[in-house]
Amino acid sequence: MEFVLINGRVLTDRGLEDGLAVRVQGGRIAAVGPQAEVGAGAPARDLAGGLLLPGFIDTQVNGGGGVLFNEQPTPEGIARIGAAHRRFGTTGFLPTLISDDLSTVEQAIGATRQALAARAPGVLGLHIEGPFLNARRKGIHDASKFRSLDDAAFALLTSLGAGRTLVTLAPEASPVEMIQRLAAAGVVVAAGHTNATYATMRNALAHGLTGFTHLFNAMSPLTSREPGAVGAALESQEAWAGVVVDGKHVDPVVLRLALRCRPVAKFMLVTDAMPCVGSDQASFMLQGKHISVRNGACYDDHGTLAGSNLDMASAVRNAVRMLGLDLPTAVRMASQSPAEFLGLGGELGRIATGYRADLVLADDDLNVIDTWIDGLDTGAAAHG
């Protein structure tokens, strides 16, 4: 299939540009250039001045469309979650499993393997968030599921065989040798739900840990005499940090301060989305806990945050409005940065020749009009 997208404002590495056409062939971007040079000889889609952006990539998607991945660790569950999030510009995602029994982890890995083999739209791999966490920073996770990271767990975590595997763990609860082994096996390792000291976190960073899951939330804070996990994250100029920009998880002032400490390109937007995203659900069950959606966020009956009701288009919008970022920077945090974090920066996250044609068409208010995944018009936004 070959087609050309014309009359849009295209976000390239130089910023938003008028007068460009994007030619798509065989699921990839074949050319980006002046319409007179790139647009001839192929069917054209007139974008009517809309914003053409690289597709958003969400590395933390617990659910969507009424589906919680822990409850439906199946290819069908993954497909429903992906369809719900495409309506909001997410063209690549990691279905995310919250701490559970290893038998459920195994089911999730098997389902993701099947989804990848079937080329399910948008599926890039799997995020296993726990159960190798610290009970003192459990958040909404069920601490009865927590366990040590031993050889059997290592074998399971490295068994996907395709796509990307992201594991969130607490470094103080996981031998540093295991972190090193996971990284050497190609697993992306991030710290989260951790009470680690600064020294422990620095040691983990030196042995293969490359990311921080929902920075500031469920981790040891920066204090005057112990920098903690947050201090290690803010000091690091290399590690990636996911942030939930919904105005509920972290005060925007705190995030604006964080952006001054380290390269903005090393931050990435995540949703931590729950089943309510892309559905009209006002409540759901999470491992026996009743979760309700109130004032744009998800809480259990004790007021503990339980993931989010955030979608990626809203996250980008909030990054502009709450954090004072320009649109190209906010979009980069939703596309190129997560792609690079996953080791996919050479094929996803940019509108550039040779890249996969994962694209988002949006209006000036970042309402998503259409999406393409590998050059295929998903129709998710138009019919959602």
Supply the CATH number for residue 260's domain: 3.20.20.140
Pick the more confident residue, 59 or 39. 59
Q: Which residue range is the domain that position 290 belongs to?
A: 55-341
Pair (157, 194) in one structural domain: yes
Is 362 within a domain?
yes
pLDDT of res. 41 = 85
- How is residue 60 written in tokens? 């933390």
Statement: residue 380 has pLDDT above 70: no
Pair (233, 272) in one structural domain: yes
Pair (357, 283) in one structural domain: no
Nearest of 219, 234, 99, 207 to residue 170 by alpha carbon:
219
pLDDT of res. 39 = 79
Is 132 within a domain?
yes
Pair (194, 261) in one structural domain: yes
Is 346 within a domain?
no
Helix or strand run (H / E) with residue 305 = strand 305-308
Is 86 within a domain?
yes
What average pLDDT score do residues 278-300 get? Answer: 94
Pair (132, 6) in one structural domain: no
Residue 306 annotated as part of some ligand binding site:
yes
- Is residue 353 within 8 Å of residue 252, measured between CB atoms? no
d(CA 318, CA 129): 25
Residue 249 annotated as part of some ligand binding site:
yes
Residue 140 annotated as part of some ligand binding site:
yes
Pair (44, 189) in one structural domain: no
Pair (245, 299) in one structural domain: yes
Pair (219, 238) in one structural domain: yes
pLDDT of res. 16 = 96
pLDDT of res. 36 = 87
pLDDT of res. 383 = 34
pLDDT of res. 381 = 47
pLDDT of res. 355 = 98
d(CA 94, CA 60): 6
Range in 25-39, 122-136, 369-383 with the lowest mean pLDDT? 369-383
Nearest of 254, 264, 247 to residue 322 by alpha carbon:
247
Is 373 within a domain?
yes
Burial (CB count within 10 angstroms: exposed 0-12, middle 13-18, buried 19+), residue 107: middle
Is 290 within a domain?
yes
For the chain, the first-to-last Cα distance in angstroms comes to 24
Pair (39, 80) in one structural domain: no
Instruction: State pLDDT tens for residues 85-121.
Output: 999 999 999 999 999 999 999 999 999 999 999 999 9
- Residues marked as catalytic: 272
Under the banding of pLDDT at 50, 70 and 90, the label for residue 167 is: very high
Pair (25, 153) in one structural domain: no
Instruction: State pLDDT tens for residues 218-259.
Output: 999 999 999 999 999 999 999 999 999 999 999 999 999 999
Is 21 within a domain?
yes
Is 95 within a domain?
yes
**DSSP, res 129:** E
d(CA 378, CA 350): 19
In CATH, what number is assigned to the domain containing residue 363? 2.30.40.10
Pair (273, 366) in one structural domain: no
Pair (60, 49) in one structural domain: no
Residue 163 annotated as part of some ligand binding site:
no
Nearest of 64, 8, 76 to residue 38 by alpha carbon:
8
Q: What angle do CA 160, 166, 171 make, to 5 degrees?
A: 120
Place of tokens 């497909």: 79
Residue 217 annotated as part of some ligand binding site:
yes
Residue 225 annotated as part of some ligand binding site:
yes
Residue 203 annotated as part of some ligand binding site:
no
Kindly state the percentage of the chain with pLDDT values over 70: 99
Question: CA separation (Å) from 265 to 235, 260, 329, 333?
Answer: 14, 12, 8, 7
Residues paired with 372 in a beta bridge: 359, 377
d(CA 262, CA 265): 9
Mean pLDDT of the chain: 96
Residue 23 annotated as part of some ligand binding site:
no
Residue 164 annotated as part of some ligand binding site:
no
pLDDT of res. 255 = 98
pLDDT of res. 384 = 35
How many structural domains does the chain have?
Answer: 2
